[in-house]
Structure 1
Amino acid sequence: MKHLLSVLLLSVWSTAALAGPALQGDVIADLNALQAQLQDGELSIVVERATAQAERLAPGNQADQWASALYQQLAAGALARQDQHAAAADRLAIARGLNGVDSAQAARWLREEASLRRAAGQRDQAIELLSEWLSNQQDIEAVWQLTRLLAQQERWEEAADWLEQALNETPALTEAQQALAIAVFRNAGQGGQALGWLLDGLSGQSDAADWRQAAGLAQQAGQAGVAAGLWETAWQLGKLTEQEDFWLLIQLHLAGGTPARAAEHLEQALDEGDIVRDESHLRLLANAWRQAKDVEKALNAWHALALDTQAAADWRAYGQLAYAWGEEGQAKQAFARASSLGDEEAEQWLASFN
């Protein structure tokens, strides 16, 4: 940024002066000398001399004010090279407000001032200046800069509006532009559109972070089934391998309408010893098969859970599930076991068989 601003501001008056009112010879010579000093790094001298000349000439006629503006730009160039970006921007703001400065040159200084404001961390001012610049100019780079500034200020809806224009005028996005687009769409409440961007770029070569981000966006967009499908694909591709990834896989399948897939993963993990065969895991498996409405597997899982816990409530729940699915033999045996463990509600269920 510092190098770019220096390049912009070193082209002080050599080309700009041609567009303004005619300057006196001594003023031209002085501007030339100061520009040479600026290029030689005599920055403090340039700021002091340019400031004095700019203030002296500012009250004069149109030509004097044009010269004053050029001196202010020289001072801005020297200040920018000292990383005094806000002070440099102030000088350009003064310059472009003087009489004798045509609209084209004022616009160029406005654009440079916006860059200086951005470098100084004055984002709101930079946003105003870039918006003004873009009201009269076609500048796709400035549109992307404005979008990023708005995002940094968390002005997401405005950022999304400018982003639409940027996307329409940019044939191929860089990685940074794509990341910005996704962030803006997501935070502007347009997660579905952000997800579309991510899905277009996902492949077997994408890293785990891309798959995680896509699944997260799908969740935010209320597309739980898509999130589960993305996580499942990444799991199968070996992109997600941690235990916490496995448990999120289970949760996504349960939330996304594919409980049978969650149950299959749980069964495989239990069989292979990847997770402990304890009460919590058996209960999760039983509930997954029940949610999947697989009668045989759900009843087998609830039976296994009740055998493991020997809790009256689990035997009763197993019996109620069996009864609801027309498996009266299993239901009666389950209620009998729950009753023997002191469950009064199970006794009432047993009575209904007589």
Structure 2
Amino acid sequence: MKRLLILLLSVWSFSAQASPALPGDIIADLNALQSQLQEGELSSVVERATAQAERLASGNQSDQWASALYQQLAAGALARQDQPAAAADRLAIARGLDGVDSAQAARWLREEASLRRAADQHDQVIELLREWLTNQQDIDTTWQLIRLLAQQEHWEEAADWLEQALDETPELNEAQQTLALAVYRNAGQGDQALGWLLDGLSAQSDAADWRQAAGLAQQAGQAGVAAGLWETAWQLGKLTEQEDFWLLIQLHLAGGTPARAAEHLERALNEGDIVRDETHQRLLANAWRQAKDVEKALNAWKALALHTQTAADWRAYGQLAYAWGEDEQAKQAFARASSLGDKEAEQWLVSFN
């Protein structure tokens, strides 16, 4: 607020030369009010500046320029009294008066936007920044507008402005990257977000970037891409926790690469990273079955049946062997299931007689 007040105090004298000439008594009065403002006589400044502004508002261009400057002084005093909304209203009046050149009106528009932001008048700030950007190329203001639109959940418009911002911003900082991803996701443009994020991924990217990319791929319905990203990050050593391993398995199974899931499971079982229990062996058997690797799938199902010694698992092993033309294995599996009391397996055995 202090910086804004300095701007409000200084603008009129610098811009006066490009605007309609002012009578000497008006200049003297403005200078006197500015001195009072600097000395903290805020109420007096608001009262006097308001009266003068209203008196001169309907006059010629010179009068209206003076009226605008009085409104600016009133705005300065109101801002100093922690009344940013009222101060912004005065600048809105000032920049709409005849006699105010476009450059000065633009400066007051920016200052009004800052005041309305301080007053939490976000919708008005958005309107002001839109107006500013229709006449100015200002990348910092574009990012401000995107952030405000996101805060107000105007996602589609935020995405439109984001396209322009990305074209004009060579390298995004962390805050801009986070904002861009949030806008794309919430605007329903997951593919664009993913493509943009993938362009920036490298071996130097941290784990959070890889996780975010994989998450976006899942949201976009690209399970295979998600699995590939997680696999790459795993191989690069970016993801090392046990929950990362299990998500890797799930992503491969969902993404159409079950053989990679099975290979990871088999390696983890052989190296003792996971316990060789029923749950893990069943997951391995199903992964090889899904991958349609006949030899490995049958071996895994046989190992599972030997571990559990349940009729259901022997029968499932037999059915899989039968489906793949491995009749001898199927017959042995059904016989074992039958010996454990499985009636359905007995019916399967009939087909071999």
TM-score, normalised to structure 2, is: 0.91
**AA in 1 matched with 2:345:** A
1:300 match: 299
Given the superposition, is the C-alpha separation of residues 307 and 70 from structure 1 closer, same or farther in structure 2, using an over 3 Å criterion?
A: same
Counterpart mapping for 1:227-266 below 5 A:
227-266=226-265
**1:351 and 1:160 mapped to 2: Cα distance?**
66
Alpha-carbon separation, structure 2, partners of 1:260 and 1:304 = 18
Distance apart, 1:14 and its partner CA: 1.1
Aligned to 1:282: 281
Which amino acid in 1 is paired with 2:121? Q
* 8 Å CA contact 1:54, 1:71 repeated in 2: yes
Separation of aligned partners in 2, 1:328 and 1:41: 99
1:105–1:303 distance in 2 versus 1, CA, 3 Å = same
Which shifted more, 55-64 or 86-95? Answer: 55-64
Q: 1:19-58, aligned counterparts within 5 Å?
A: 19-39=18-38, 43=42, 46-58=45-57
Relative distance call for 1:239 and 1:19 in structure 2 (3 A) is same
Conserved 8 A contact 1:299-1:318: yes
1:169 corresponds to: 168
Paired residue secondary structure (2:135): coil
Q: Could you tell me how far 1:318 is from its partner in structure 2?
A: 0.9
Alignment CA distance shift 1:269-1:16 (3 Å): same
Structure 2 vs 1, CA of residues 291 and 18 (structure 1 numbering), >3 Å: closer, same or farther?
same
Q: Work out the CA distance in 1 between the residues paired with 2:171 and 2:345.
A: 67
Could you list the per-position Cα deviations for residues 137-172 of structure 1 after superposition, in whole angstroms to 9, with x for gaps in the alignment? 322222222122112222111111111122222333
- Contact 1:12/1:35 (8 A) holds in 2: no
- State the 1:188 CA deviation: 1.8
Cα shift readout 1:104-128 (whole Å, capped 9, x = no counterpart): 4323322322232233322221111
Encode CA deviations 1:227-267: one digit per residue, 9 max, x unaligned: 11211121122221222111111111111111111111112
CA distance in 2, matches of 1:247, 1:103: 62
Distance 1:39 1:258 in 2: 72
More divergent stretch after superposition (51-60 vs 221-230): 51-60
Query: How far does residue 290 in structure 1 lie from its aligned partner after superposition?
Result: 0.8
Q: Say which is worse superposed, 247-256 or 102-111, in terms of deviation.
A: 102-111
Distance 1:301 1:68, change over 3 A: same
**Structure 1 pair 287/38, CA: closer, same or farther in 2 (3 Å)?**
farther
Deviations 1:17-55 (A, max 9, x none): 333322222322232233345455665554454344434
Distance 2:313 2:262 in 1: 19
Q: Is the 8 A contact 1:286 1:301 kept in 2?
A: yes
Name the structure 2 match of 1:269. 268
Q: Whole-Å Cα distance in 2 between the matches of residues 43 and 297 of structure 1?
A: 86
Aligned partner of 1:9: which letter? L
Instruction: Give distance in 2, aligned partners of 1:279 and 1:63.
Output: 90
- Name the CA shift for 1:132/1:300 in 2 (closer, same or farther; >3 Å): same
CA distance in 2, matches of 1:82, 1:308: 80
Provide the rounded CA distance (Å) in 1 between the counterparts of 2:140 and 2:265: 51
Query: 1:333/1:125 Cα in 2 relative to 1: closer, same or farther (>3 Å)?
Result: same
2:86 paired with 1:98: no
Instruction: Tell me which amino acid in the other structure corresponds to 2:116.
Output: R
Shift of the 171–59 alpha-carbon distance from structure 1 to 2, 3 Å rule, reads same
Q: CA deviation at 1:224?
A: 1.6
Q: Distance in 1 between matches of 2:299 and 2:244?
A: 27
For the Cα contact (< 8 Å) 1:20–1:100, is it kept in 2?
yes
Rounded Cα–Cα distance in structure 2 between residues aligned with 1:245 and 1:70: 63
Amino-acid identity (%): 87
Asked if structure 2 preserves the Cα contact closer than 8 Å seen for 1:12 and 1:74, the reply is: no
- Give the superposition deviation at 1:102: 3.3
Q: Separation in 1 of the partners of 2:199 and 2:6?
A: 38
Give matches, 1:323-334, under 5 Å.
323-334=322-333
For the residue of structure 2 that corresponds to 1:204, the secondary structure is coil
Q: What letter matches 1:99 in structure 2?
A: D
Partner of 2:127: 128
Matched residue, 1:194? 193
Q: Which runs of 5+ in 1 are unaligned?
A: none
- Give distance in 1, aligned partners of 2:2 and 2:271: 60
Per-residue deviation, 1:288: 0.7
How far apart, CA to CA, are the structure 1 residues paired with 2:203 and 2:36?
A: 57
1:79 to partner: Cα distance: 3.6
For 2:140, the equivalent position in structure 1 comes to: 141
> For 2:340 and 2:222, how far apart are their aligned partners in 1?
44
User: Is 2:64 the counterpart of 1:65?
Assistant: yes
Q: Which amino acid aligns with 1:214?
A: A
Residues 322-341 of structure 1, C-alpha deviations (whole Å, 9 max, x = no match): 11111111111111122222
Give matches, 1:207-222, under 5 Å: 207-222=206-221
Q: CA RMSD in A?
A: 2.3
Shift of 1:6: 3.8
Q: Which moved more, 1:269-278 or 1:239-248?
A: 269-278
How many angstroms apart in 2 are the aligned matches of 1:304 and 1:42? 90
1:322 paired residue number? 321
- Taking a change above 3 Å as real, the CA distance of residues 256 and 3 of structure 1, as seen in their structure-2 partners, is farther
CA contact (8 A) 1:79 1:88 kept: yes
